[in-house]
A and B are shown apart, each in its own frame.
Chain A
Amino acid sequence: MKIIVAVKRVVDYNIKIRVKPDNTGVDLSHVKMSMNPFDEIAVEEAIRQKESGKVSEIVLVSIGQEEAQETLRTGLAMGADRALLVTTDQTLEPLSIAKVLKAIVHEEKPDMVFLGKQAIDDDNNQTGQMLAALLGWGQATFASHLNIENGYATVTREVDNGTQTLCLPFPMVMTADLRLNEPRYTSLPNIMKAKKKNIEQKTLADLGIDTKARLAILSVEEPKPRQSGIKVANVAELVSALKQKSCI
């Protein structure tokens, strides 16, 4: 069984981002970038399935600038077998990313595609669902548990009021939620080994996919700051303040 894992290079989750003064976007110059945390979880799950003998090959795919190679190296150091980078300087929308991934899937013919449930930069939560739609495959989103058995994937999903378990035939698409696993750290020897693993490169132009943006970003602004509050000395002061605001 073969798995493709789609990974995205995003601003590190610990960074407090700044909006550019001209409101055209977020300032990403000199900001630490990392693998999207949900994608790390997806990579980890693929590796665990391989370690349990249910998967034979893990291929990482990223779409973006040359620098996304670093992200792919991280995934290779975690234990993925090889990687593919589709280079472009364009910032692609989820619909376009899903179309590119579909083309890769047609070449690679995996049994499963894993993605993170959302990227922490655009917070869209769309790509996995869109890819499943374009391929005509079943989807298991927000996964917190995966069991592969008897030719089916049984996936527990995190939903609004608890969990839901689904059973899907292969091929299928799964998107990882936080609770799926705890991603491993990469060790120095594995980082060295990952340097020898292959990252194949393609350009977006090679694939001939229409990736014209459908949404125009008119502006990006700081959220309205909350008015600064006050420190209360004790419970009595807190209660009287809340009563005054008729909160309680």
Chain B
Amino acid sequence: MAILLLADHNPEETAKVLTAAHALKSDVDILVCGENIQTTAERSAKLNGVRQILIAEADYLAHQLAEPMADTIIALANDYDVIMAPSSSTGKNVLPRVAALLDLMQISDITAVLSPDTFKRPIYAGNAIETVRSNDHKKIITVRTASFPPTPSQNNAAPIKTITPAPNPNLSSFVKAETNKSDRPDLTSARVIISGGRGLGSQEQFMDLLLPLANKLNAALGASRAAVDAGYAPNDWQIGQTGKVVAPKLYIAVGISGAIQHLAGIMDAQIIVAINKDEEAPIMQIADYALVGDLHQIIPELEKAL
């Protein structure tokens, strides 16, 4: 049995999917698609227990367009029993296209591997956990990376092989990207996350209050949907069912009531701290440490105390 693993642009995420792949006990090849990807390929090659790295390089793969990516994977599919990717925006975009072209059902967002054909995955915003067995001859799987620790690196590197990507079908073309540059830790791999909600009141307050605290804790900044919709924080900070799913050691929710959809993104955090003026807010019921009070006083006080 062999697994093809589609690498993420973030090597840490690739390492987490690799842990899920190893739970299936088989040879793992990692496919790196893009432009100028030698460094990513070399880093992936050092991950423990990788058979080989496949590199598909082309200008039209630079922006991870779904159509040529899927075609490139399809061309390799004969040699693999399992095709896996992280549940990142690229993985979610590309893999269902691959699955349909191979007439297979995808298993989305797995959180555990019970056997090579049986997996756990959350449904209904994480309010239920489904155990599914795939009866397909090949498995197409996206992995919730927050549920798996990263596979460590080693000194020996797996061989790197260059492959020819499928031609660009020209069904879509890249126009531009707007990247929110940040020197903060990445949300999906941060050890500490400070997250703000509507309770912050404005974009200025959001940054003025939370940024110094985040700096002190070397934390990533996150947000609830309400805070993003109100323009306090950029979209890609959103945590929850439709945003990012995180599993930090410490999650501090500030002025977040804790709607079902938000809780879906943080249930795997080790310690949840909730700071809210409303004692009855749902987040206070699931928090390990709940502090009732005015966040405008508490946050500066907390920053000073650290």
* Contact surface of A with B, Cβ cutoff 8 Å: 11, 13-14, 16-17, 19, 26, 93-95, 98, 117-118, 120-134, 136-142, 144, 154, 157-169, 172, 177-179, 213-223, 226-232, 234-236, 238-239, 241-242, 245, 247-248
Note all chain B residues with C-beta closer than 8 A to A223.
122, 126-129, 267
Given contacts A139-B67, A218-B133, A229-B289, contact A166 B174 (CB under 8 A): yes
Q: A133-B100, A136-B171, A162-B180 are in contact. List 6 more A-B contacts (CB 8 A).
A: A95-B104, A162-B179, A178-B229, A214-B136, A223-B122, A231-B292
On whether the beta carbons of B288 and A230 are closer than 8 Å, the reply is yes
Q: Is B230 an interface residue (CB 8 A)?
A: no
On whether the beta carbons of A11 and B124 are closer than 8 Å, the reply is yes
Given contacts A164-B63, A214-B136, contact A232 B172 (CB under 8 A): no
Note all chain B residues with C-beta closer than 8 A to A121.
123-124
On whether the beta carbons of B101 and A133 are closer than 8 Å, the reply is yes
Note all chain B residues with C-beta closer than 8 A to A217.
130-132
Note all chain A residues with C-beta closer than 8 A to B211.
none
On whether the beta carbons of A129 and B96 are closer than 8 Å, the reply is yes
Given contacts A164-B63, A229-B272, contact A94 B105 (CB under 8 A): yes
Q: Is B36 an interface residue (CB 8 A)?
A: no
On whether the beta carbons of B271 and A242 are closer than 8 Å, the reply is yes
| Binding site secondary structure of chain B | mixed
Query: Which 6 A-B pairs give the minimum distances between C-beta atoms?
Result: A138-B171, A129-B96, A130-B100, A214-B105, A133-B100, A126-B96
Interface centre among A226, A234, A235 (most CB of B within 10 A): A235
On whether the beta carbons of B173 and A167 are closer than 8 Å, the reply is yes
Min CB gap A12→B, angstroms: 11
On whether the beta carbons of B174 and A94 are closer than 8 Å, the reply is no
Min CB gap B216→A, angstroms: 9
Name A232's contact: one of B217, B234, B291, B301 (CB within 8 Å).
B291
On whether the beta carbons of A167 and B175 are closer than 8 Å, the reply is yes
Note all chain A residues with C-beta closer than 8 A to B70.
133
Cα distance, A124 to B130, chains bound together (Å): 12
Given contacts A19-B128, A221-B128, A241-B289, contact A139 B217 (CB under 8 A): no
Note all chain B residues with C-beta closer than 8 A to A120.
124-125, 241
